[in-house]
Amino acid sequence: MATLPLYTQSCGAGAAHAAIDAEPPVKHVAVVGGGSAGWMTALLLANSAYGERLRVTVIESPQVGTIGVGEGSTPWLRGFFDGLGIEEAEWMPACNATYKAGISFEGWSTRPGFERYFHPFASMLDNLTMTQFVQNVHARLQGADVDAHPDRFFIAARLARDALAPRPSRNFPFDVWYGYHFDSSLLGAFLHRKALERGVRHVPRHVRAVNRAANGDIATLELDGDETLAADFFVDCSGFASLLIGKALETPFVPFSDNLFNDAAVALPSPASGPIMTQTVSTALSHGWAWKIPLTERHGNGYVYSTAHCTADQAETELRAHLGLLDADVPARHLKMRVGRAAASWRHNCVANGLAQGFIEPLEATALQFVQRTASLLVEALESGDIGDAARSRFNDTLNAQIEGTRDYIVAHYKTNNRTDTEYWRDNAANAHLSESLVQLLRTWMARKPIIGGLRQGQFGNAYPVVSWYCLLAGMGIFPDAASLQAPTPLQAQHNLAAIENLIERSALNFPDHRGLLADIPPRPKEDALQLYLW
């Protein structure tokens, strides 16, 4: 069967290209807003093939703080740092960062044997077990009594179970793709320092007004202190305030509230002790879900919930009870979320990035991936020398499709739940506001047909790879009722699961203890293979 790339070198999205002799189509880019989004964008712009000929300025208001909670990433963040030549041994300790092999989902399903599952990040080793997993899923859909729970088939689940770091010894022949956990405030501060080292100018001023030219472009920014800043191009990283793309350019906002009910969160830290896990834990609660993110010094915790189903006080009380901190004198932070996207991320001479562009929700930790992807697409457009109408249209179409595809994957977590304990979960299961793509995917699965063909051909689910969709739907236990399962045929029972377990157990011997590796993070070999395949 043909292979499909799951993560490729493009995840590096920031690797320096050969220098371009031509002059850049714009000479000065102003990034409005700091934080992780603003400084990541600035670094990728400063790393363009134009070098110092493309001036980059970050205007950061001293009056606006950052969210600053424990946060997780997808494997794209590894590519970001690799592309900039920044070693993990430099940035991870500075950000209290840990490794992440994937996400554990606890209590999203009540189906026996499927009360929890793990969504793994990819490994080249998975090519030796993915076929067996998918074929067992197909057999169980057809009513055969075979094991089709994803945790048994992937090395990442094994690493997460025993707090092993997803960085194998150098003699292990398979690369493992992984993400990170980190303190988002510390990450923003680290990126700030690196950007200044690489020539980015910093203007710590509050933007009071935005002036537009006759053609509708943004011309200048009026700053506190009677200062005016002019630039050729602007990037809006002003968060939910959306100062440029929303307020100044009046770009419509497309809400996702019909698809995703969560619109608020409450966060608080808890002490860290014992092993440092290599997974984000997502636990279903009464009106949403709680995250647990392991950092080197503490755990970041939070509760993402729907204000239509509970109050902020109720959410905080439930989170404290969940963490055993009802009587603890630990302050909580309450956050509002604007879930949706700008109708167009690029309008006139402005690109929106980060929360100014949009937000789905934290469930699969895609926020920084979209920041990185957006900034990389902008750099590609600038390096091509084409920033005209057609380029803007391609840019917007690409991002909108990826945002909405990711939204569908998130929605599927809620739609497929079978909890009946609260109105929140019942409303999510009954939600009919689904995209046609997601409807087609779920109908195919419920008809007990393989979805792999539709995924490979781009008919549906094209924002996430095969392994993710199969882990989600199989992990939630969406199969015929266990009582109706029949003994498998010899063909359906062809796979030796003991051999798979033995392969994974032997492979796990090549991975170090997570806490031990964090104490002395080694450099990664430059010849690291970033091309991973899952069919």
Judge contact between 34 and 196, C-beta under 8 A.
no
Taking each helix axis as running N to C, give the angle between helix 76-84 and helix 35-46, from 0 to 180 degrees, rounded to the nearest 10: 40
Closest of 113, 100, 108 to residue 157, by C-alpha: 100
**Euclidean distance between CA atoms 153 and 147, whole angstroms:** 10
* SS3 track for 424-455: HHHHHHHCCCCCHHHHHHHHHHHCCCCCHHHH
C-alpha dihedral over 364, 368, 369, 374, to 10 degrees?
140
The DSSP code for 308 is: T
**Euclidean distance between CA atoms 147 and 139, whole angstroms:** 9
Tokens of 381: 């457009």
Closest of 136, 178, 145, 175 to residue 471, by C-alpha: 136
The DSSP code for 221 is: E
**Euclidean distance between CA atoms 181 and 294, whole angstroms:** 7
Closest of 314, 335, 413 to residue 103, by C-alpha: 413
Q: Give the C-alpha distances (Å, rounded to integers) separating 484 from 185, 259, 459.
A: 52, 33, 31
Q: Are strands 333-336 and 340-342 parallel, antiparallel or unpaired?
A: unpaired
Q: Do you know the residue count of the chain?
A: 535
3-class state of residue 363 by DSSP? coil
Catalytic residue list: 100
Number of other residues whose CB lies within 10 A of the CB of residue 240: 14
**Euclidean distance between CA atoms 259 and 466, whole angstroms:** 22
Q: Are strands 532-534 and 4-7 parallel, antiparallel or unpaired?
A: antiparallel
Tokens of 417: 């739940």
Judge contact between 288 and 339, C-beta under 8 A.
no
- How many CA atoms lie within 13 Å of 468's alpha carbon, on the beta-carbon side? 22
Judge contact between 56 and 45, C-beta under 8 A.
yes
* SS3 track for 132-175: HHHHHHHHHHCCECCCCCHHHCCHHHHHHHCCECCCCCCCCCCC
3-state helix, strand, coil in the chain (%, to 5): 35, 20, 40
Q: What is the residue whose two structure tokens read 């309450």?
A: 334
